[in-house]
Every structure is written in structure tokens, then in C-alpha cells.
């Protein structure tokens, strides 16, 4: 049996999405900037995709900027707002958290080299950001607060709705919604955000396409200079087929999001119940209550993985199970996950953490199979 429990990394493209894309790779291959009929078809497809996506999150179409994915959207938003707001107001402090995606963290590190001052909000042990800490580091100099919606390693869902009311004039809120978009309701008016990022390949769409929502009136400069595409804020010929595919994935999400959530919730609950029965206190679950059901992060005690989680993941793979480590692989060396360390766990615990992430097409039998494999490997390892 082959079981794919790594859906937070990426998902399999939905066949309906692929079908919707194909005409824009075959016969409708025009450049959306051309004025002839080929170009006009592409333009219409892009603009109707933009309208659909804008409507889905309560935005207006001109607030949606298509990008090459979540990472570019994040770079665009943080650089664009921080640099322009600094030029206009002199504000140079940026607030974020230590457990954001690397795209957010590394963009802050890079801006620090040009004189911006990142400040990091404290994280509670359950993975939520600490509200008092945020209050303490907000200042007149704060330009942008960047805090994620759903954490990609442990699944914690942060409530960002109250943050805007604590921000003054020329202070902005960005929320990375890559792991939440299309899986739970994201409404920019309820979240009260000035910007958000999303990506198609996490919701059965194609890889390499995402968008930035940026509320009109927010200070912003381009990240990619070139043609006048995306209202002169993101140069480059539009990826028409992928934009159409993204919109199709959203169309499907509009209909299936709720039922998908319930299915995945059931899978996750069964997995949690089963793994607790098999391993008892030899594991701890890092995913707090009220987290997304799509992600389950589990730390195995060292007596189980013997300082060698790679071999353990490989053994899972040999048994047909795809899961991922709560660690980032940087230049060939496995580093303990900054997220697991960020919620106060030890390096040993971070090294022993595995993320299982689900999709609604996964089956209960697959959960049972994976639990069986874990039990088998456990018996071997604990001998
Ligand atoms: N933000 C979060 C929370 C993510 O999980 C990811 C992808 O794993 C990204 C950003 C980057 O998105 P993309 O893969 O589309 O560049």
C-alpha cells in the first residue's frame, strides 16, 4: 500500500483542475497583453479567475496580484510594504514570530541588513503567539506586523482578528494564509488584514502559482520589475494556465471545503486516538486543540528513533508511507525545526518530530495501515 500523508508539503493536482488548464496550454496559448483574439481570451481567463478568487476572500479584484507562489507573495508583501512605508513615514520596525515559514523569516533577516529592525513576538508552548508580548513590542516605529494564520509544521491556528485594532495610522498587518486558504474560510474583512499570501499547490492546484492580496491604499512597491502586468506591480508574462487552474481549485474548494474539513477531521482524530493507544507516553502530540485537522505533528521519544529520524522516515518510506520531518534540510545538513524549538521543545524532541498531513481523499484504512507500520517499526526499535 502507498499512503501519502505529506499534503502540507504539496498535494496531487485535481483532475478537474488539470482539465481546466489544458486548453490554455494547447489552443488558447495567447499572451494576455496581446490585443488580438488569442491575447483577449487569455486576458478574459485571467480577469475572471481574479474576480472569483477576490470574491472568495471578500476582496476586490484589483487587490489580487498573481505571483509564482506563496514564497514570492510573501517576499513581495513584506518588502513592498516595509520599504515604501519607510520612505513615506520613516517607520522601520517589523514584527513577526520565530515560527513563521522561512520565506517570512529570511525576508526579515534580509531587510535587517538594510537597516530595518525586526522584533519577534514570544510564542506560547501551544504554538500561539503571545498577545502580551505583541502588545509590548508594538511601538510608534512599527511599520508591519507579519503573523501566520495556520502553522505549516504544527497546524496551530492563530487569531489575528484583534491585531488591527491595536495598530495606528501607517501600521499594517500581513497574514501568511498558505496553509489555510481553501481549507477554511478566509475573509479579509473579518481577519482585518492589509495583506495575505496564498498558494495553489496546497489545495490540489498546480505548483508555481499563488497570489498576494494587498488592500487598496496600502503602500507598496514591486518586487519584480518589468512589463506593466498586474497593474505595473509584478512584471512578467502571466502564467495563464496556472492562474486558470488556481481558480478552478478555488471553485472546487467553494463547494467541497466544508465536507473536506469534516473528512480530514475524522482522519486526524482516528490517527490521534490510534497512535496514543499504540505508543502511550512514548510520543507527544504538538498539535494543540482547535488546530487545523490537516496537520498532525508528533514527537517520538528518543528510545524510539535512536537519534536517527532519517532512518525512521526511510523505513516509513520503504513501507509505502510518505510523511515529513519537522525539520528543514539546509545545504545537506538536517537542522532541528525552528518551529518545534520555537514552542519550547528540546533539540532532541525537534529531531524526533514527524508531521503527518492529510487530504480528504485519504482513507481510514490508510490511517490504520500507517498505525500498523508505526507499531511494527516501534516493536523493532524498542527491542
Ligand atoms: N507559507 C507557508 C505557511 C507554507 O507552508 C508554504 C509552503 O510550504 C509557503 C509559505 C510557501 O509557499 P510556496 O510553496 O507556494 O512558495
- Give the Å distance between the CA of 199 and the centre of ligand 1: 7
177 assigned to active site:
no
What's the pLDDT score for residue 328? Answer: 55
Q: Could you report how far apart the first and last alpha carbons of the chain are, in Å?
A: 26
Identify the CA nearest to 123 among candidates 266, 254, 288, 281.
288
47 with 275: CB under 8 angstroms?
no
What's the pLDDT score for residue 327? Answer: 57
253 with 182: CB under 8 angstroms?
yes
Nearest CA to ligand 1 atom 9: 70
**CATH of the domain spanning 3-9+256-381:** 3.90.1150.10
Radius of gyration of the chain (CA): 21
Task: Please write the tens of the pLDDT for every residue from 246-263.
Answer: 999 999 999 999 999 999
Indicate if ligand 1 lies below 6 Å from the C-beta of 176. Answer: yes
Distance CA 4, CA 368 (A): 13
Task: Please write the tens of the pLDDT for every residue from 197-252.
Answer: 999 999 999 999 999 999 999 999 999 999 999 999 999 999 999 999 999 999 99
pLDDT over 90 percentage in the chain: 87
Does residue 382 surpass a pLDDT of 70? Answer: no
CATH class of 15-252: alpha beta
Domain ranges of the chain: 3-9+256-381, 15-252
- Give the Å distance between the CA of 46 and the centre of ligand 1: 22
Within 13 Å and on the Cβ side, how many CA atoms surround 176?
28
Task: Give the mean pLDDT of 157-185.
Answer: 96
Confidence bin at 380 (pLDDT 50/70/90):
confident
Backbone φ, ψ for residue 24 (5° rounding):
-85, -5
Mean pLDDT of the chain: 94
What's the pLDDT score for residue 326? Answer: 64
From the candidates 329, 334, 347, 382, which is the catalytic residue?
329
The residues, any chain, with a CB within 8 Å of residue 336's CB and separated by 6 or more, are 327, 347, 350, 351
Task: Give the mean pLDDT of 143-148.
Answer: 98
* CA-CA-CA-CA torsion sign (319, 323, 326, 332): positive
Nine-digit cell string for 158: 492563530
210 with 69: CB under 8 angstroms?
yes
Residue with cell 524526533: 352
Report if pTM > 0.85. yes
- Give the Å distance between the CA of 178 and the centre of ligand 1: 6
Does residue 319 surpass a pLDDT of 60? Answer: yes
Nine-digit cell string for 276: 496514543
Amino acid at each position: 500500500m502507498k499512503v501519502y500523508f505529506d499534503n502540507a508539503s504539496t498535494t496531487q493536482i485535481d483532475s478537474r483542475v488539470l482539465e481546466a488548464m489544458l486548453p490554455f496550454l494547447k489552443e488558447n496559448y495567447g499572451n494576455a497583453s496581446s490585443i488580438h483574439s488569442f491575447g483577449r481570451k487569455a486576458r478574459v481567463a485571467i480577469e475572471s479567475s481574479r474576480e472569483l478568487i477576490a470574491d472568495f476572500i471578500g476582496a476586490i479584484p484589483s487587490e489580487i496580484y498573481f505571483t509564482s507562489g506563496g514564497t514570492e507573495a510573501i517576499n513581495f508583501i513584506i518588502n513592498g510594504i516595509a520599504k515604501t512605508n519607510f520612505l513615506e513615514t520613516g517607520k522601520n520596525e517589523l514584527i513577526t514570530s520565530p515560527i513563521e515559514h522561512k520565506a517570512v523569516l529570511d525576508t526579515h533577516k534580509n531587510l535587517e541588513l538594510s537597516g530595518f529592525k525586526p522584533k519577534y513576538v514570544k510564542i506560547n508552548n501551544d504554538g500561539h503567539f503571545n498577545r502580551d508580548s505583541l502588545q509590548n513590542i508594538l511601538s510608534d516605529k512599527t511599520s508591519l506586523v507579519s503573523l501566520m494564520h495556520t502553522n505549516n509544521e504544527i497546524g496551530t491556528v492563530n487569531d489575528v482578528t484583534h491585531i488591527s485594532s491595536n495598530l495606528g495610522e501607517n501600521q499594517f498587518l500581513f497574514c501568511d494564509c498558505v496553509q489555510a486558504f481553501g481549507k477554511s474560510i478566509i475573509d479579509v474583512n473579518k481577519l482585518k488584514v492589509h495583506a495575505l499570501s496564498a498558494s495553489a499547490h496546497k489545495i490540489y492546484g498546480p505548483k508555481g502559482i499563488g497570489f498576494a492580496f494587498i488592500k487598496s491604499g496600502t503602500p507598496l512597491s514591486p518586487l519584480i520589475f518589468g512589463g506593466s502586468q498586474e497593474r505595473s506591480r509584478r512584471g512578467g508574462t502571466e502564467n495563464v494556465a496556472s492562474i486558470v487552474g488556481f481558480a478552478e481549485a478555488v471553485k472546487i474548494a467553494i463547494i467541497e471545503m466544508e465536507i473536506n474539513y469534516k473528512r480530514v477531521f475524522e482522519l486526524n482524530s482516528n490517527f490521534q486516538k490510534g497512535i496514543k493507544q499504540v505508543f502511550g507516553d512514548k510520543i507527544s502530540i504538538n498539535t494543540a486543540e482547535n488546530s487545523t485537522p490537516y496537520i498532525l505533528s508528533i514527537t517520538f521519544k528518543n528510545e524510539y528513533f535512536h537519534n536517527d529520524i532519517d532512518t525512521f522516515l526511510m523505513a516509513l518510506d520503504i513501507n509505502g508511507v510518505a510523511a515529513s520531518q519537522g525539520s528543514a534540510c539546509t545545504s545537506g545538513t538536517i537542522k532541528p525545526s525552528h518551529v518545534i524549538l520555537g514552542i519550547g521543545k528540546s533539540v532532541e524532541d525537534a529531531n524526533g518530530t514527524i508531521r503527518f498531513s492529510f487530504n480528504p481523499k485519504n482513507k481510514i484504512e490508510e490511517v490504520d495501515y500507517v498505525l500498523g507500520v508505526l507499531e511494527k517499526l516501534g516493536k523493532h526499535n524498542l527491542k
